[in-house]
C-alpha cells in the first residue's frame, strides 16, 4: 500500500543506459512507483510510528456505493483519510451535451438513484427558465406530491442504512416496507420503480391514475403509525443512542464553510430550506415546518430526517386536498430550441440542494449542464469528521451524512 | 463375470462407491458379531475395568459427533427467528418447512474450494479453526446434560470450563494473524482484547455461586438445585425457587452479559463486525475451515446456554416436584443413552423445530400448538435469547465494550462476591459456627 517516493530523475532506472539499449524495438521498463502529486499526498502516504494503511472499499460491504477510502490507522483510531472517487463515474454531464433537451432527463435520472425525481426536477426547472414556459398548476402539484413521496422513500432507506452501519440487522428490513410501498405507488404513476423519468419540460409525463391514488390513500391511512413504529425501533434503543450521539459533530461555521445544505445543515441549527428561503413551485401555498436541531451530531441528523418525514406527510395531505384540475403539461414543440442564455435552478431534495446550471447556445442540445449534487459536497466533510474517531465509526459517520455515490461521481 | 463387468460399467459414481462399501460393511459387521460372540465376556471385562477411560473417549466422540447437528438446529432456529423479526418468511424450501437448509449449508461448505491466501502462513492458517472448534467441543465435556449423562465430573469442572473456553481466543488470534489481511488482524486483536476482558467478570460472577455451593463440580451444583440427599439429610423442596438464579440474581445478569461477549454475539460481535471489518478473523477463510469457525460459533452459543442452565436454571431439575424415575443412572446404561441421543437428536431436533409451525398451519386447536411451542421455547430459551438480541440490537463500539467490562461488570461482580461472602459469614455466625 505504501508508495515508495522518488524525486524527479532519481528512480534507479532513470540513468541506466542499458534499459533502452537492450533492444531497440521491444523493451521493458518498469513503471516507477507513482510519485505523489501534491504535498498533501506525500504527507498522507508517509507512515508514522505504529500506523498502518487500511484500504476500505470499493468492495467493502458497507460503503455506500463504490467509494474507496484509504484509512491511516493507529490501532483502531483513524489518523487520516484519503477518499478516492471515480469508481462510478459515467460522464453524465458530457453525455447530456450530446442529447436533445428531452433526452437529457433520462440521462440525469440515474445520478441520484435513491431519489431520482429531484435530479430531474432541477434541470427541468432550469430548462423551463431557458424556454420561459409557464408550468400548469396541476403539474406543479403532482411534482410536489411525487417529490415528497420520494423524499420519504429516501429517508426511510437512510434510516435502515444508518442502523445497518451501526450493526443493527432489523431496521433496514422494516424501513424497506415503507420504501417498497412508496416505490410501488410511484411505479404505478410513472411506470418505473427506481429511475422514474417522469418530469417533462413544462410539466409531468402522466396524470394521476386510479392505481396510484388508491395505493396512496391506503398507505396514508397507516403511514404515520408505521413511521412511528419504525423510528421507535431505534429512538429508544440505548446502544443506538449512545453510539450515534456526539458522533461526527459539525458546528454551524464548519457546515457553512463546507457548503453543507439540507438536513446536515439544519441539524446544526440553521433553518435553511430552499422550500422556505427561496420558495419555488407551489411551496409558498403549503403549510409545513422546517425542523431544526442544535446538536449537529449523527443522532441529530437522523432524528431530523425522521421529523422531515412527518412534515412530508403533511405536505402530501395538503397536495391531495388542494389538487387543481387542468392540463399536466405546457404546450411546447417537439424539438426545443431555447433562447441562448444561462439558467440556474435549485430544489430542496432529501440530501440537500440539487442545482442545475444550464447554458443554451440556441441549438436543440444544451451547450453545458452542470449538476450541483449535495452528496459530493457532503462527502468532503468526511475528511474533517473522521480523524480521531474509531474504525467502527467511519461508516456510521459517512452514513449519517447520507451521500449517494451515483451523485458524487456523476 | 462379463455380466458383472457390464453392470459395473453402467453404474454411476455413487453407485460404484456403494457397490464396494456395502459388501465391506457387511463383512465388518459379520466380523464384529463373530468377535463379540467369541470374546464378548473378555471385551466387556476390559471395558468395565477401564470404565472412566471408556466413558471419556466415548463421550468425547459423541460430543464431537453431536456438534454439527446442534449447530444445524441452532442455525436453523436463528434463521427462522430473525426472519420473523425482520418480517420475512425465512427458509422454507429445503426439507419440511426449510428445516434442512442449515444441514445443506453445512454440506455445501464441505464442497467449496479450500483457499489459502498467497502470503498467509499455511500451518497457522490451517490449525486456527481446529483450535477454535476443538476448544469449544472440549469445554462441553464437563457439562451434565442429564443425570449420569456427562463425560467427566471432577471437582474443578467449572474452572476447567473457563480455562478451556478461554483458549478459543488463541485460535481466533491465530486465524487473524495468519490470514495476511488487515481486516483479519483487526478482528483477531479485537477478539483477544474482548475475550480476555470479559473472562474476568464472567469468572468472578460465578465465584459467589461457588461459595454458596461449596463445590465447582457442575454435577453437584445441579443436584443442589433440586432434591438431593447427603450425609446431613435430605435437602431442597424440588420447586424452582431453589434455583441459583433466585439466590444470585446479580450474578446471573453479569454472567449473561459476559457470556454474550464470550460467545461473540450481537451486540458484542465486534470480532466479525461486517459493517466495519468485513468478516473479522474469518475474512480469508473458505470451505470447511470457515465451516469450523461457523460451527464453533453456534456450538459456543449452545454451550454457554447449557452452562447458564446448569449454573442458574436448575439443570435437569424440573421446575416443580416431579416423581423421578431414577435420577442417578447406572453408568452401565450410559452407552445406550448416548447412542440413543446420537441417533435421534438430529431427527428429533428437526421434527421438534418444525412441530409448532406445522401445528399452527394444520389448524389444530390453538392451545395444543401453544403448549408445544411453549415447551420448545423453554428448551431452547437461552439460544433464542441470543438470537433475539442479534435481531434487535446494534453493535457497541470497542471503547464502549471495554469500558462496560471494566467500569461496570467487574465492580458489579466484585460487589456480588462481597455480598455473598458476607451473607454466608452472617448466616454461619447466626447458626453458630461454620457448618
Top residue of A62, A77, A175, A392 to mutate, by most chain B CBs within 10 Å, is A392
Between CA B173 and CA A184 the distance in angstroms is: 48
Between CA A337 and CA A359 the distance in angstroms is: 12
Top residue of B187, B260, B397, B408 to mutate, by most chain A CBs within 10 Å, is B397
For the segment A330-353, the average pLDDT, to the nearest whole number, is 89
State the nearest Cα–Cα gap between A168 and chain B, in angstroms: 4
- Output the nine-digit C-alpha cell for B40: 464378548
- B31 assigned to some structural domain: no
**Cross-chain residue pair A395–B276, CB shorter than 8 Å:** yes
pLDDT digits (tens, 9 = 90+) for A346-360: 999 898 899 999 999
Same domain, A142 and A6: no
Q: Return the SS3 of A52.
A: strand
- On the question of pLDDT at B350 being above 60, the answer is no
Residues of A with CB below 8 A from B276's CB? 62, 391-392, 394-395
How big is the CA angle at B101 (ends B74 and B283), to the nearest 5 degrees? 75
Highest mean pLDDT among A1-10, B71-80, B358-367: B71-80
Instruction: Please give the span between the terminal C-alpha atoms of chain B, in angstroms, as a whole number.
Output: 83
Instruction: Kindly report the CATH number assigned to the domain that includes residue A383.
Output: 1.10.645.10
Same domain, A147 and A36: no
> Do B358 and B97 form a contact (C-beta atoms < 8 A)?
yes
SS (H, E, C) B174-195: HHHHHCCCHHHHHHHHHHHHHH
State the nearest Cα–Cα gap between B266 and chain A, in angstroms: 8
**Cross-chain residue pair B394–A76, CB shorter than 8 Å:** no
Task: DSSP letter for B211, please.
Answer: H
**Least CB–CB distance from B275: residue in A164, A237, A240:** A164
Q: Which domain holds residue B407?
A: 48-431
Q: Quick one: closest CA in A to B399, which residue?
A: A390
**Cross-chain residue pair A61–B274, CB shorter than 8 Å:** yes
Total-model pTM = 0.74
Q: Give the residues across from A83 on adjacent strands.
A: A69
**Cross-chain residue pair A61–B275, CB shorter than 8 Å:** yes
Task: DSSP letter for B248, please.
Answer: -
- A72 assigned to some structural domain: no
**Least CB–CB distance from A174: residue in B82, B87, B276:** B87
> Do A316 and A145 form a contact (C-beta atoms < 8 A)?
yes
Give this complex's ipTM: 0.73
Q: Counting beta carbons within 10 angstroms of the beta carbon of residue B121, is it exposed (0 to 12), middle (13 to 18) or buried (19 or more)?
A: middle
Phi, psi of A84, rounded to the nearest 5 degrees = -115, 115
**Least CB–CB distance from B394: residue in A174, A239, A391:** A239
State the nearest Cα–Cα gap between B389 and chain A, in angstroms: 10
pLDDT of residue B335: 43
For chain A, list residues whose CB is within 8 angstroms of any CB belonging to chain B: 52, 54, 60-62, 76, 163-170, 173-174, 177, 237, 239-240, 242-243, 390-395
Mention every residue, 6+ apart, whose C-beta is less than 8 A from residue A89: A409, A410
pLDDT digits (tens, 9 = 90+) for B128-177: 988 888 888 788 777 776 655 566 677 888 888 888 888 888 888 888 88
- Output the nine-digit C-alpha cell for A41: 499526498
Q: Quick one: closest CA in A to B185, which residue?
A: A75
Between CA B329 and CA B149 the distance in angstroms is: 8
- A69 assigned to some structural domain: no
pLDDT of residue B326: 40
Q: Which domain holds residue A391?
A: 93-409
Domain count, chain A: 2
For the segment B345-368, the average pLDDT, to the nearest whole number, is 51
Q: Quick one: closest CA in B to A170, which residue?
A: B86
Q: Return the SS3 of B21.
A: helix
CA-closest candidate to residue A347, choices A129, A193, A101, A138:
A129
Q: Counting beta carbons within 10 angstroms of the beta carbon of residue B418, is it exposed (0 to 12), middle (13 to 18) or buried (19 or more)?
A: exposed
State the nearest Cα–Cα gap between B249 and chain A, in angstroms: 22
Ranges of H-type helices in A286-404: 298-322, 374-385, 391-401
> Do A405 and A66 form a contact (C-beta atoms < 8 A)?
yes
**Cross-chain residue pair B274–A239, CB shorter than 8 Å:** no
Considering A9, A24, A46, which residue would you say is the last residue of a domain? A46
C-alpha radius of gyration, chain A, whole number: 24
- A86 assigned to some structural domain: no
- On the question of pLDDT at B342 being above 70, the answer is no
**Cross-chain residue pair A169–B399, CB shorter than 8 Å:** no
- A53 assigned to some structural domain: no
- Centre a 10 Å sphere on the Cβ of residue B404 and count the other Cβ atoms it contains: 19
Q: Return the SS3 of A209.
A: coil
How big is the CA angle at A103 (ends A344 and A188), to the nearest 5 degrees? 100
**Cross-chain residue pair B186–A167, CB shorter than 8 Å:** no
**Cross-chain residue pair B88–A173, CB shorter than 8 Å:** yes
Highest mean pLDDT among A307-316, B74-83, B130-139, B262-271: A307-316
Half-sphere exposure of B36 (CA within 13 A, CB side): 8
- Centre a 10 Å sphere on the Cβ of residue B318 and count the other Cβ atoms it contains: 13
- B411 assigned to some structural domain: yes
- B13 assigned to some structural domain: no
**Cross-chain residue pair B86–A76, CB shorter than 8 Å:** no
| Farthest CA pair distance, chain B | 93
pLDDT above 70 coverage of chain B, percent: 71
Highest mean pLDDT among A364-378, B1-15, B377-391, B414-428: A364-378
Mention every residue, 6+ apart, whose C-beta is less than 8 A from residue A284: none
- On the question of pLDDT at A388 being above 60, the answer is yes
Top residue of A169, A176, A398 to mutate, by most chain B CBs within 10 Å, is A169
Q: Quick one: closest CA in B to A177, which residue?
A: B87
How big is the CA angle at B192 (ends B172 and B303), to the nearest 5 degrees? 65
pLDDT of residue A185: 92
For the segment B397-421, the average pLDDT, to the nearest whole number, is 83
Domain count, chain B: 1
CA-closest candidate to residue B201, choices B349, B433, B12, B401:
B401
- A61 assigned to some structural domain: no
**Cross-chain residue pair B182–A177, CB shorter than 8 Å:** no
- B383 assigned to some structural domain: yes
CA-closest candidate to residue A354, choices A340, A341, A369, A336:
A369
Same domain, A326 and A187: yes
For chain B, list residues whose CB is within 8 angstroms of any CB belonging to chain A: 82, 85-88, 182-183, 186, 190, 266-267, 269-270, 273-278, 390-400
Residues of A with CB below 8 A from B402's CB? none
State the nearest Cα–Cα gap between B402 and chain A, in angstroms: 13
Mention every residue, 6+ apart, whose C-beta is less than 8 A from residue A106: A195, A197
Ranges of H-type helices in B235-365: 244-247, 249-262, 274-277, 287-312, 334-361
- Output the nine-digit C-alpha cell for B3: 455380466
Residues of A with CB below 8 A from B391's CB? 169-170
For the segment B263-280, the average pLDDT, to the nearest whole number, is 73
Q: How far is CA A258 from the centre of its chain?
A: 15
pLDDT digits (tens, 9 = 90+) for A172-211: 888 888 888 899 999 999 988 888 889 989 889 888 889 9
**Least CB–CB distance from B392: residue in A170, A391, A392:** A170
- B120 assigned to some structural domain: yes
For the segment B245-263, the average pLDDT, to the nearest whole number, is 80
Q: Quick one: closest CA in A to B273, which residue?
A: A167
**Least CB–CB distance from A166: residue in B183, B269, B395:** B395
- Output the nine-digit C-alpha cell for A209: 391514475
- B17 assigned to some structural domain: no
Q: Counting beta carbons within 10 angstroms of the beta carbon of residue B267, is it exposed (0 to 12), middle (13 to 18) or buried (19 or more)?
A: buried
**Least CB–CB distance from A61: residue in B182, B267, B278:** B278
Report DSSP letters for B43-57, one per residue. Answer: HHHHHHHTHHHHHHH
Same domain, A27 and A164: no
Same domain, A7 and A139: no
- On the question of pLDDT at A389 being above 70, the answer is yes
Residue with the bigger pLDDT between B409 and B245: it is B409
Top residue of B276, B282, B407 to mutate, by most chain A CBs within 10 Å, is B276
Between CA A144 and CA B160 the distance in angstroms is: 68
- A68 assigned to some structural domain: no
Q: Report residue B324's pLDDT band, with 50, 70 and 90 as the boundaries.
A: very low
Mention every residue, 6+ apart, whose C-beta is less than 8 A from residue B408: none
Q: How far is CA B128 from the centre of its chain?
A: 19
- A63 assigned to some structural domain: no
Q: Give the residues across from A204 on adjacent strands.
A: A199
Dihedral (CA of B43, B47, B48, B49) sign: positive
Residues of A with CB below 8 A from B82's CB? 169-170
State the nearest Cα–Cα gap between A310 and chain B, in angstroms: 24
Same domain, A28 and A110: no
Q: Quick one: closest CA in A to B398, which residue?
A: A392
Amino acid at each position: 500500500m505504501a508508495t515508495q517516493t522518488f524525486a524527479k530523475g532519481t528512480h534507479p532506472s532513470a540513468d541506466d543506459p542499458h534499459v533502452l539499449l537492450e533492444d531497440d524495438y521491444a523493451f521493458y521498463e518498469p513503471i516507477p512507483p507513482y510519485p505523489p502529486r501534491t504535498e498533501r499526498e506525500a504527507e498522507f502516504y508517509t507512515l508514522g510510528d505504529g500506523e498502518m494503511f487500511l484500504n476500505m472499499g470499493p468492495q467493502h460491504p458497507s460503503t455506500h456505493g463504490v467509494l474507496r477510502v484509504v484509512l491511516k490507522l493507529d490501532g483502531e483510531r483513524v489518523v487520516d483519510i484519503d477518499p478516492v472517487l471515480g469508481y462510478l463515474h459515467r460522464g453524465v454531464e458530457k453525455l447530456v451535451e450530446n442529447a436533445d433537451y428531452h433526452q437529457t432527463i433520462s440521462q440525469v435520472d440515474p445520478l441520484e438513484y435513491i431519489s431520482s425525481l429531484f435530479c430531474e426536477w432541477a434541470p427541468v426547472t432550469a430548462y423551463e427558465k431557458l424556454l420561459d414556459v409557464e408550468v400548469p398548476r396541476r403539474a406543479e402539484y403532482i411534482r410536489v406530491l411525487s417529490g415528497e413521496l420520494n423524499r420519504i422513500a429516501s429517508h426511510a432507506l437512510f434510516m435502515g442504512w444508518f442502523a445497518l452501519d451501526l450493526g443493527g440487522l432489523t431496521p433496514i428490513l422494516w424501513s424497506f416496507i415503507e420504501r417498497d410501498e412508496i416505490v410501488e405507488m410511484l411505479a404505478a404513476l410513472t411506470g418505473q420503480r427506481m429511475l422514474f423519468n417522469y418530469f417533462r419540460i413544462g410539466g409531468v409525463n402522466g396524470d394521476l391514475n386510479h392505481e396510484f391514488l388508491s395505493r396512496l390513500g391506503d398507505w396514508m391511512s397507516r403511514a404515520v403509525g408505521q413511521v412511528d413504529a419504525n423510528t421507535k425501533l431505534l429512538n429508544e434503543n440505548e446502544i443506538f443512542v449512545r453510539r450515534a450521539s456526539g458522533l461526527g459533530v459539525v458546528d454551524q461555521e464548519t457546515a457553512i464553510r463546507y457548503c453543507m445544505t439540507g438536513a446536515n445543515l439544519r441539524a446544526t441549527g440553521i433553518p435553511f430550506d430552499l422550500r422556505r428561503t427561496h420558495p419555488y413551485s407551489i411551496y409558498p401555498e403549503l403549510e409545513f415546518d422546517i425542523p431544526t436541531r442544535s446538536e449537529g451530531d449523527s443522532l441529530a441528523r437522523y432524528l431530523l430526517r425522521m421529523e422531515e418525514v412527518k412534515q412530508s406527510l403533511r405536505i402530501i395531505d395538503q397536495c391531495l386536498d388542494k389538487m387543481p384540475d387542468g392540463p399536466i403539461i405546457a404546450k411546447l414543440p417537439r424539438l426545443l430550441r431555447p433562447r441562448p442564455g444561462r439558467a440556474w435552478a435549485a430544489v430542496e431534495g432529501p440530501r440537500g440542494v440539487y442545482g442545475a446550471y444550464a447554458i443554451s447556445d440556441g441549438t436543440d442540445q444544451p451547450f453545458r449542464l452542470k449538476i450541483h449534487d449535495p452528496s459530493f459536497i457532503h462527502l468532503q466533510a468526511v475528511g474533517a469528521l473522521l480523524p480521531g474517531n474509531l474504525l467502527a465509526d467511519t461508516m456510521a459517520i459517512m452514513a449519517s451524512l447520507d451521500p449517494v455515490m451515483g451523485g458524487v461521481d456523476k | 463375470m462379463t455380466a458383472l463387468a457390464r453392470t459395473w460399467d453402467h453404474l454411476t459414481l455413487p453407485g460404484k462407491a456403494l457397490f464396494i462399501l456395502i459388501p465391506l460393511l457387511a463383512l465388518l459387521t459379520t466380523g464384529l458379531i463373530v468377535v463379540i460372540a467369541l470374546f464378548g465376556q473378555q471385551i466387556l471385562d476390559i471395558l468395565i475395568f477401564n470404565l472412566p477411560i471408556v466413558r471419556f473417549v466415548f463421550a468425547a466422540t459423541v460430543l464431537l459427533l453431536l456438534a454439527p447437528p446442534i449447530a444445524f438446529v441452532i442455525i436453523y432456529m436463528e434463521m427462522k427467528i430473525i426472519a420473523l423479526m425482520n418480517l420475512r418468511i425465512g427458509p422454507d424450501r429445503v426439507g419440511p418447512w426449510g428445516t434442512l437448509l442449515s444441514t445443506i449449508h453445512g454440506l455445501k461448505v464441505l464442497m467449496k474450494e479450500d483457499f489459502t491466501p498467497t502470503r498467509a502462513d499455511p500451518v497457522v492458517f490451517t490449525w486456527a479453526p481446529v483450535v477454535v472448534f476443538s476448544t469449544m467441543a472440549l469445554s462441553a465435556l464437563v457439562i451434565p446434560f442429564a443425570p449420569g449423562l456427562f463425560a467427566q465430573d471432577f471437582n474443578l469442572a467449572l474452572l476447567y470450563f473457563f480455562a478451556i473456553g478461554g483458549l478459543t481466543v488463541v485460535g481466533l488470534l491465530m486465524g487473524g494473524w495468519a490470514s495476511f489481511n488487515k481486516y483479519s488482524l483487526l478482528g483477531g486483536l479485537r477478539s483477544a482484547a474482548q475475550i480476555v476482558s470479559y473472562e474476568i467478570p464472567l469468572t468472578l460472577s460465578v465465584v459467589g455461586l461457588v461459595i454458596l455451593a461449596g463445590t465447582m463440580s457442575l454435577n453437584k451444583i445441579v443436584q443442589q438445585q433440586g432434591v438431593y440427599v447427603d450425609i446431613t439429610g435430605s435437602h431442597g423442596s424440588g420447586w424452582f425457587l431453589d434455583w441459583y438464579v433466585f439466590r444470585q440474581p446479580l450474578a446471573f445478569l453479569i454472567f449473561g452479559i459476559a457470556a454474550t461477549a464470550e460467545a461473540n454475539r450481537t451486540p458484542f460481535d465486534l470480532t466479525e463486525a461486517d459493517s466495519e471489518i468485513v468478516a473479522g478473523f474469518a475474512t480469508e477463510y473458505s470451505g470447511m475451515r470457515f465451516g469450523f469457525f461457523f460451527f464453533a460459533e453456534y456450538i459456543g452459543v449452545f454451550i454457554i446456554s447449557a452452562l447458564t442452565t446448569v449454573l442458574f436454571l436448575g439443570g435437569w431439575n424440573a421446575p416443580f416436584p416431579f416423581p423421578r424415575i431414577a435420577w442417578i443412572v447406572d453408568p452401565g446404561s450410559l452407552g445406550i443413552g448416548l447412542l440413543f441421543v446420537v441417533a435421534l437428536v438430529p431427527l428429533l431436533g428437526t421434527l421438534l423445530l418444525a412441530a409448532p409451525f406445522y401445528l399452527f398451519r394444520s389448524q389444530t386447536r390453538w392451545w395444543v400448538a401453544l403448549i408445544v411451542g411453549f415447551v420448545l421455547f423453554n428448551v431452547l430459551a437461552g439460544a433464542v435469547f441470543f438470537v433475539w438480541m442479534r435481531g434487535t440490537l446494534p453493535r457497541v463500539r470497542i471503547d464502549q465494550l471495554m469500558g462496560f467490562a471494566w467500569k461496570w461488570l467487574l465492580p458489579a461482580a466484585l460487589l456480588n462476591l462481597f455480598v455473598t461472602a458476607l451473607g454466608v459469614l452472617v448466616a454461619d455466625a447466626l447458626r453458630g459456627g461454620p457448618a
